[in-house]
């Protein structure tokens, strides 16, 4: 069963909301989020380029 923290019932200021989890600081969480964002963009670009290559190769085989 999940136990509720005593902190979770106290109102938070705008600076604290959502950015205090355990021992991690706001800067560490923002850096992690930024790294995840960049990783997703790179992954999407890789997938798009592979799809474009596949489409170009399929057009070549259809023309041949």
Establish if 9 belongs to a structural domain. no
Domain containing residue 60: 24-64
At 63 the pLDDT is 82
pLDDT per residue as tens digits for the range 13-59: 555 555 555 667 888 889 999 999 999 999 999 999 999 999 999 98
At 2 the pLDDT is 53
pTM of the model: 0.51
Establish if 61 belongs to a structural domain. yes
Establish if 12 belongs to a structural domain. no
Establish if 36 belongs to a structural domain. yes
Q: How many domains does the chain have?
A: 1
Establish if 55 belongs to a structural domain. yes
The 3-state DSSP class for residue 55 equals helix
Distances, alpha carbon 31 to alpha carbons 9, 35, 58, in Å: 27, 6, 41
Rounded to an integer, what distance in angstroms lies between the CA atom of residue 34 and that of residue 50?
25
């Amino acid at each position: 069963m999940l136990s509720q923290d005593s902190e979770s019932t106290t109102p938070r200021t705008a600076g604290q909301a959502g950015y205090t989890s355990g021992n991690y600081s706001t800067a560490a969480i923002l850096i992690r989020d930024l790294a995840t964002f960049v990783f997703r963009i790179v992954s999407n670009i890789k997938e798009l380029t592979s799809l474009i290559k596949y489409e170009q190769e399929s057009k070549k085989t259809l023309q041949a």
